Structure 1
Amino acid sequence: MTTDTPARLLQLLSLLQTPREWPGGELADRLGVSRRTVRRDIDRLRELGYPVQASMGADGGYRLVAGKAMPPLVLDDEEAVAIAVGLRAGAGHALEGVDEASVRALAKLEQVLPSRLRHRVTTLQAATTPLTSGDGASIAPETLTVMAATVAGRERLRFAYRAGDGSTSRRLTEPYRLVSTGRRWYLVAYDLDRADWRTFRVDRVSEPFATGVRFAPREVPEGDAAEYLRRSIRRRQDPHEAEYDFDVTFRAPAEVVATRLWGAMGRPEPLEGDEGACRLRGRTQDPVEWVAVRLAVVGCEFSVREPAELRECVRELGGRLSRAGGGG
């Protein structure tokens, strides 16, 4: 029996946030109190702004319905651990669909996790290996959560950075946005020592430290962090980072290819005059080997129009696969 009223209200709220209707008698049994106490607690929750709906009947029933504002989310231990592990797995590898908002949510969750649950999350993650897309380097989730917290709090961030040529430096920045390209995480920030905007690959960041110094946000070039990142990558001379156009034709309807194709590559368009074929055009910075594999796993006939490097890579990949299968 929960005799502490605040603790009991939190337990009641946790039960009501499960998407179902709870009979009053069952809630009373779960909480170890009388049905009258349950009714009083429901009234208290309503006074606090929680939209609890009651149904008529012999036993009555209660459920939490959508309101004008989202009430605080109450999670039990197992739910909190499951969410943290899932967000950590996604954040540690720049997976499609895991954006800065997901990392901010992880930062908030880990901030309030008790040490015993934080230990469980770390242990579970260490014991599992996620199957990831592409060849993007893994990142310590703690690095991302520190960075996301400084972005949200408009707090200066200091970190060590390793450039593409292996040189290292210390950076003091005003972090603006975290951007996921689907294969890597990048930080768009204003570099105070260089008095200019910069983009940083997060897998090359170490020792991130929130200084506690607040700042007024500046206007990012291009007006958008993602667009600034795209143009920044395009200007680089590193062949592994340079963007290129691709043009591919599939011998399958566009709707079929779209369900099998990795979303970040774009959407195929029906081929004019041929409903059984489609065309995919786009721009990427991913290695041609990685793109070739992504095209192959779609599982239908295709041909590469451009670039020539991708065409040659597909040809070599096909030969290796044929030899591996005993085809000569």
Structure 2
Amino acid sequence: MSKSKRLMELMMTVNRKRKFTVKELAEEFGVSSRTILRDLQELSELGVPLYSEVGPHGGYQVLNERVLPPIAFTEEEAVAIFFASHALRHYRFLPFETEASAALGKFYNYMPGDVRDRIDEMKNRVDFISPQRQSAFPHLAELLDAAIRQQVIAIEYESGGRQDCRDIQPVGIYARGGLWYCPAYCFRREDFRLFRCDRIRSVVPGPERKPLDMRHIHLGNWESHIAAKRHDADCYVELTKSGVDMCEAELARRVPMHVREDDSGFLKGTIPLGEIPFLARFFIGLGREATVIEPPRLLAEIRKVLSELMERYE
């Protein structure tokens, strides 16, 4: 076996084993222990994070930041992955901000010159625009990690001009309209709630509270697990063609949308009563492109907001 092939297989082996001894590897590859030691030294210089442990039960171990074996991409696949990561640059805060930047740099720097030239030409031809927000989202990685590990965390949350502490178990995080959101089970409310990540001021490990088994709950179905005690109201809103376009991104997760053959449509479903203030201001912003039919409480809130605006601008 050539040295280059042995190093490649050795890299994949140590990533798979995580913990091993020089003797084990020497027997597996049919070489001397001295050769394996030299190979491990070369892997370490290439960036494989190894460290040794002394003693009768010692050996080598791979740190958590494992280096994946080389993966062969076609030119089109490499360009697609580059731009998928490049599109995230509009978000000032990401769960893997440093890692994404490093991965993007590796993709670009190790590509052939003609592929880099192609990417440079495409950078100003392809983009994925998201609203620029001034809000900070410093706890995204901690929220995502708690969701993956099924952990309870304590957060300090600001809402309505005041801060309080909540024990929550996150479902996950998602971005929409330039903002990050975290649906989570709130132990105070004994139900699921949606938290805006920029309003989370601190995150610490939760108290000695047993986590819930939420392995079957994810971003696609968490809303269906909200307790039935939540007070909802039937909602119906007529939309013009432009209204459909304007509602599609913002309300698709809140109220089912139905589109007619002429591209006009309507919203029909239920809404939480707690979202009426937000929806009133949203539909006012749509002007003539949306006509709210029900619920009456939403109509009353719209009239109230419009009346306040009239008083301000008279």
TM range (shorter): 0.3 to 0.5
Which TM-score applies when normalising by structure 2?
0.45
TM-score scaled by length of structure 1 = 0.44
